[in-house]
Structure 1
Amino acid sequence: MQVLDRAPSGWPALVLNADFRPLSYYPLSVWPWQDVVKAVFLERVEVISTYEQEVRSPSFAMRLPSVVCLKEYVAQDRPPAFTRFNVFLRDGFACAYCRRAEDLTFDHVIPRSRGGRTSWGNIVTACSRCNLAKGGRTPEEARMSLLRRPARPTAWELQEQGRRFPPNHLHQSWVDYLYWDVELDP
């Protein structure tokens, strides 16, 4: 098969769960066109919307899907992994002390030197300035207030948080499925 006019990476498809919600908001659930075409042939997805662009072989032509929906629902109930990205996402990509969004790093609320663990309940996003000011002290000792106590988020909480950070590229056919419950302007 051959794609014309644009690099293959330029034709991703938004992947929706069987309930027509994206599998993930952040990072947005998109598949490269090759995986989507394969899923269509294996009858794992329904094509909801297509691009104008086609893929062709000597005996076949198909418009590239821009939005697909899984035929079987994928449960999203597993707890989120404790990763750098997920901690930043939980904290809204902002410092837990001052809300600045520049030069972000991590801070152990209870310092490791005092037995603080590297866990959801003890790690927060901090800007370099606040992290340096706090040093090896607790927030109380440093006279700094946490804007929110750290806790393990649910998968649903991370998805809701991710919806606040739209991706750089949104194809027009995706918009209805990403923001269908956003309040409309009067």
Structure 2
Amino acid sequence: MFRAELIEKVARFRYAQDDPASNLSACPSLVLNADYTPLSYYPLSLWPWQTAIKAVFLDRVDIVASYEREVHSPSLDMKIPSVIALRQYVKHSEFPAFTRFNLFLRDRFQCQYCGSGSHLTFDHVIPRRLGGRTTWENIVSACAPCNMKKGGRTPGQAHMHLAERPIRPTSWQLQQQGRLFPPNYLHETWRDWLYWDIELEE
């Protein structure tokens, strides 16, 4: 079957109950790597249901679990996949990209001077005017008040203490940090594949 035909077939799927108020965006698919670990913890690796079904028809994924909700096409009824696993393993790069989001994630979304999680910016530990570079090892998350207080000085000059020495994290370390921030909603079929650092309930 040609790719265009597959795309058209997926586009013809309709929710089985044909309820205009039904929110299918509430049925994303958790994407696992070929080793059945999540592609990403934070943000959690989720695909829209249309993308998941398309990947099923293209033989790129296996369905691990499904929602009770169904979609229909003229020739096929199908439960919406809730968990899918890639057939080919995706190797993660050793180090993540140096982005603002990844920097905040490394620092647990906290100011490295006072611990606040509000109004985060980033700060050069060694100021640029003193030769400080824009690298993982010289940039930390800082709230706006602490950033202004420190100004163009080193932490020692400003009498401010860093919570942790900034490092260049590996992709694995960053994903471990992501496990500290579970999403508000986890579908029951996802829980066997996710391991969050939260207190277990009796």
Length-normalised TM-score, structure 2:
0.86
Q: How does 1:9-88 map to 2 (within 5 A)?
A: 9-88=25-104
Map of 1:94 onto structure 2 = 110
**1:59, distance to aligned residue in structure 2 (A):** 1.1
Structure ranking higher in helix proportion: 2
**1:115, distance to aligned residue in structure 2 (A):** 1.9
Map of 1:107 onto structure 2 = 123
Give the AA of the match of 1:122.
N
Q: Does 1:124 align with 2:136?
A: no
Map of 1:142 onto structure 2 = 158
Give the AA of the match of 1:121.
E
Aligned-partner Cα distance in 1 for 2:178–2:196:
15
**Structure 1 residues 182 and 73, CA gap change in structure 2 (3 angstroms):** farther
Q: Secondary structure at the match of 1:161?
A: helix
Aligned-partner Cα distance in 2 for 1:97–1:180:
27
Q: How many residues align?
A: 186
Q: Tell me whether 150-159 or 6-15 shows the greater mean CA deviation.
A: 6-15
Map of 2:174 onto structure 1 = 158
Q: Secondary structure at the match of 2:193?
A: helix
RMSD: 1.7
Deviations 1:50-76 (A, max 9, x none): 011111111111000000111121111
Indicate the structure whose relative CO is greater, using CA pairs within 8 Å and at least 6 residues apart: 1
Deviations 1:66-125 (A, max 9, x none): 001111211113420000000000000001112111111111101122221111111100
Map of 1:2 onto structure 2 = 14
Give the percent of matched residue pairs that are identical in Structure 1 and Structure 2.
Answer: 60
Give the AA of the match of 2:50.
Q
**1:42, distance to aligned residue in structure 2 (A):** 1.1
Deviations 1:21-70 (A, max 9, x none): 10000000000011100111111111111011111111111000000111
Structure 1 runs (4+) greater than 6 angstroms displaced: 180-183
Q: Secondary structure at the match of 1:121?
A: helix
Map of 2:5 onto structure 1 = none
Give the AA of the match of 1:114.
L
Length-normalised TM-score, structure 1:
0.93
Unaligned segments of structure 2, at least 5 residues: 1-12
Whether contact under 8 Å (2:125, 2:138) holds in the other structure is yes
